[in-house]
Amino acid sequence: MRIRPGWILVLAASACSGGVSGSALRFETTRLDLGTMFQYDEKIFSLPFAIEGDAPVRIFVLDTSCGCTDVRLVVNGEVLLHAEKQSHATPPGQDTGTEEDEEGLTASAGDREIVLKPGTRGEVLGTYRPDRRLNHQVVGVTITGDMLNSPARAEIRAFLKPVFVVEKDAASFGTVLRDTVDDGRAVREFPVQAARAFSVKLWKNVPEGVAVELVEGSAVPVGDGPEMVQTVRVRLLPGLPIAQLRQFAITGDTSLGAPLGFVVSWRVVGPVTYAPDHLVQFLNKSNAREHDCVVKVRPSLEGVTLPEPKAELLGGVAEVLRSEISSLAASPEGRQGWLIKVILPQGTAAGAYQGTLRISYPDGSGITPWEMVVNARVQEPR
């Protein structure tokens, strides 16, 4: 009989591997549902199995598809193999130096060769730790060996809920009057739904001028389970300066072992609002024609009349730009104000100019002057 070259490779590979056992490793269930869990919790699970057939089975590798799951192969209470650790497989025809016990497994001196006798029952025992994962999750567990059905597969399923649920923008103050801040009325309280009642050990990244606390005695149960709703209070402290929008991500180290995070944002204004409020910019403008940018100036409160402001251009922009002031139609809320137009004249020499727009008010008005950065970059027409 003529042996084809390809057959030689197959026969060689079969000889090196020791062939395939006539038995199979069967899990009692190939899909284990752990139900609903919360992030950072953990559950211990078991996947029982049995060796079916009339031949022993050698086990080489135990593995999982996710590092969030610690698993080990256990027979009769003894851990034989951990995930991602290979057993010692002795090549066929060599003395194993092993002693077979009555429990159906073979242990070698030194590195262990895992051999399970027909009828052996065991389990893959594991701990699932989801950490930050959310929603439906599936983790595969595989056992590789010389059994008929290698690799034998099973999977762990779970639905993961966040430890904390906070509504988006729950700690957003929006635009706040300086008087409201100084009077101690700039306060936001918002609910936090948690897996269980919790405390906060430390608040991190709390900016100067802001106070954060978990309101004591605010816990309210959610249904009949362990979930609770508690209240967080955020206050803007007196003396917080007038400034454009500020935003900080605050994190609390909690007793549940999971971080509680939310974003605090605010914009403190005085009696006047400016739009835009910090920058007037002419970017790569051609000097072949005139350009302008406008700043809308309005009172912060309804029914308040602003005196006519004075607009001054300072620094390098004062040489090339000019400003004009006109009355501004009332807003939908009835706030009437002023329109400041900053003009880049036609024919301005090409170059970059920087400076400041200073908006001030008559003496006795009690309104603090406001300054904005002005940038102009002018180029010749292409």
- Please give the residue that has the higher pLDDT: either 242 or 220: 220
User: Quick one: 177 and 155 in the same domain?
Assistant: no
The DSSP line for 305-337 is PPPPPEEEEEEGGGGT-EEEEEEEPPPTTS--E
Identify whether 41 is part of a domain: yes
What residue type is 280 in one-letter code? V
Distance between CA 67 and CA 44 in Å, rounded?
15
User: Quick one: 285 and 325 in the same domain?
Assistant: yes
Task: Give the domain extent around 330.
Answer: 272-379
Rg (C-alpha) for the chain, rounded Å, is 36
Identify whether 10 is part of a domain: no
User: Quick one: 150 and 53 in the same domain?
Assistant: yes
Report the relative pairing of strands 370-379 and 279-286 from DSSP bridges.
parallel
CB 369 within 8 A of CB 360: yes
> What's the confidence (pLDDT) of residue 347?
94
User: Quick one: 86 and 201 in the same domain?
Assistant: no
> What's the confidence (pLDDT) of residue 9?
31
pLDDT in tens, 313-367: 999 999 999 999 999 887 776 678 899 999 999 999 999 999 999 999 999 888 8
pLDDT in tens, 55-86: 998 988 888 887 677 888 888 888 877 776 55
Distance between CA 267 and CA 62 in Å, rounded?
56
Closest CA to 331 of 303, 307, 352, 363: 303
End residue of a domain, out of 234, 249, 269: 269
Identify whether 218 is part of a domain: yes
User: Quick one: 298 and 341 in the same domain?
Assistant: yes
> What's the confidence (pLDDT) of residue 83?
74
User: Quick one: 277 and 255 in the same domain?
Assistant: no
Identify whether 80 is part of a domain: yes
In sequence order, what are the residues at sequence separation of 6 or more whose Cβ sits closer than 8 angstroms to the Cβ of residue 317?
Answer: 353, 354, 355, 356, 374, 375, 376
Confidence bin at 12 (pLDDT 50/70/90)? very low
**Count: domains in the chain:** 3
Distance between CA 35 and CA 167 in Å, rounded?
25
Identify whether 12 is part of a domain: no
User: Quick one: 371 and 348 in the same domain?
Assistant: yes
CB 240 within 8 A of CB 209: yes
End residue of a domain, out of 114, 134, 161: 161
User: Quick one: 258 and 293 in the same domain?
Assistant: no
Closest CA to 258 of 188, 201, 219, 207: 201
Beta bridge partners of 370: 359
User: Quick one: 202 and 156 in the same domain?
Assistant: no
Distance between CA 27 and CA 62 in Å, rounded?
14
pLDDT at 105 over 50: no
pLDDT at 95 over 60: no
State how far Cα 23 lies from the chain centre: 47
Identify whether 8 is part of a domain: no
State both tokens at 352: 């970059």
pLDDT in tens, 191-208: 999 988 999 999 999 999
Identify whether 11 is part of a domain: no
User: Quick one: 312 and 352 in the same domain?
Assistant: yes
Cβ neighbours around 229 below 10 Å, total: 15
End residue of a domain, out of 247, 269, 291: 269
User: Quick one: 68 and 154 in the same domain?
Assistant: yes
Q: Which long-range contacts (CB under 8 A, 24 or more apart) does 345-349 make?
A: 345/290, 345/320, 345/321, 346/287, 346/288, 346/289, 346/290, 347/287, 348/287, 348/320, 348/376, 348/378, 349/287, 349/320, 349/378
CATH of the domain at 285: 2.60.40.10
User: Quick one: 23 and 155 in the same domain?
Assistant: yes
CATH of the domain at 260: 2.60.40
pLDDT at 115 over 50: yes
